[in-house]
A and B are shown apart, each in its own frame.
Chain A
Amino acid sequence: MMPEADFVSAILPLLQNNSIDVLEWSFDTFYDTEEPSWLSGLLDFYAENDRLIGHGVYYSLFDGRWNDRQENWLRKLKEECKRRNYNHITEHFGFMNTENFHQGVPLPVPLLPKTLQIGKDRLRRLQDAVGIPVGVENLAFSFSLDDVREQGRFLDMLVEDIDGFLILDLHNIYCQACNFEIDMQDIISMYPLGKVKEIHLSGGSWQESAYGKKPIRRDTHDDRIPEEILQTLPKVLSQCYNLEYIIIERLGNTLNNDTEKQIFFSDFNHVKEIIEVSVYPNVDKENWKRAEKIYSEPVEDLLLHEEQTRLTKLLFDENNIESVKNEQFIYFKPENWDEEMIMTAQQIIKKWNPY
């Protein structure tokens, strides 16, 4: 659900004929903001009918330091969950550590004992705060093929302690497939598909290559769902035997003319048709086992935090690619990163993350 008038106008026919079974709401985008009454009314209605799921953006699962911002984020989430009944809460993989966190962008961390420990700690705190199932979404951005290859395993281990689940964002996988020239299904098979409870679908755009190579795929949520994703969907549905929700994501300000609206409806109906004819494996779903609350001090690693801050700044300052690759880190290995993806990170971080 997006709060823009264009978006509401576009989805009205779907709401009127009761086609939208579930809404996903990014609750933390309105933490410091008054909700318009129409939005509150709609979200409350879906919540009262057990049809609302929450999708966080700004918690940051892998920041090396535990800070007041995250403490406040959890406090506000607790209030939100008291106010509205969410079926579950999800967040994104990656770290986001800027002073102005509302304009951060998550970047991947390598799978190491310490990063895993920090991620588990943050997720545990989130779980303790809400008392409903918690999940994590795969990240589209990767610096290298190694990032792509290890994310499924990383996510699997990350949600283990809280009996958590995954959101499999197929457009994020599509971005990685295009940018690293690897088959979508090959990436998907690296994920623990039994833990996937939610699928995200969306479109995006192409960014011209700085090196005159193939364009870079970006997850901009502003266009139709690519055909390759729709073709892959039936097989994915047959593999994700604990799947409960399929969400189509679209930026609220990108449905401002009839052509775009028609594309959106066409995608929506196409996905519905695929879901209706899909064959789901007949598997008994296990009940969620809530982990008991355990008080512990937040896990921190100041070296990781320093490196995350330095990396973010380095990318924001648009240092030349060689100097980024030559920067000395312990946790990060920029010497192994794809030049094109470093440049893409610079552009994305500049877009969302002005210091």
Chain B
Amino acid sequence: MKIPALVMASLLAVGVSGQTTKPVKKGSKPVKKIRKADSPKTVKAEPKHVVKKDTILKYGGGCPACGMG
């Protein structure tokens, strides 16, 4: 199953340019200001070190749905 050249070209453009893919909101709903959560301390593997600060990713930035993210 070969991806059409036109689709591939657009993917290459995104990949190469590092184009930001921050989604654009369709509507202009007022955004409720939210308090950013403190980061739980997480470590990846031994030797222990902090992996990353938790970030609130609103759209398309992650999947909380497995329940252990």
Contacts and interface: CB of A to CB of B under 8 A. Distances in A.
B63 to A, nearest CB: 6
Given A3-B23, A103-B58, A215-B43, A38 B7 contact: yes
A30 to B, nearest CB: 6
A319 interface: no
B21 to A, nearest CB: 5
Interface stretch (A112-120, A246-254, A270-278, A282-290): A246-254
A36 B66 contact: no
Nearest to A12: B15
B30 interface: no
A171 B67 CA distance: 12
B55 to A, nearest CB: 8
Contacts of A355: 34-35
A187 to B, nearest CB: 14
B48 to A, nearest CB: 7
B67 A207 contact: no
Contact of B56 (A26, A103, A108): A103
Contact of A105 (B40, B54, B64): B64
Interface in A145-178: 169, 171-172, 175
A140 B51 CA distance: 20
A51 B1 contact: yes
Given A37-B10, A206-B42, A354-B35, A102 B58 contact: yes
A39 B24 CA distance: 13
Given A8-B14, A18-B2, A140-B67, A354 B40 contact: no
A205 B69 CA distance: 9
Interface in B32-51: 32, 34-45, 48, 51
Interface residues of A, number: 73
Nearest to B12: A12
B66 A140 contact: yes
A64 interface: no
B59 A33 contact: yes
Q: Which of B11, B17, B59, B60 has the most CB of A within 10 A?
A: B60
Nearest to B51: A205
A103 B12 CA distance: 31
A108 B56 CA distance: 22
Given A15-B3, A57-B65, A354-B34, A5 B54 contact: no
**Top 6 A-B residue pairs of the complex, sorted by shortest distance between their CB atoms:** A141-B67, A140-B68, A219-B68, A347-B40, A9-B15, A38-B10
12 contacts: A12-B11, A34-B23, A36-B14, A38-B7, A38-B14, A139-B66, A205-B43, A206-B45, A208-B42, A251-B62, A253-B57, A350-B37
Given A103-B56, A253-B57, 7 more contacts: A16-B8, A32-B26, A39-B21, A207-B42, A223-B45, A249-B63, A252-B62
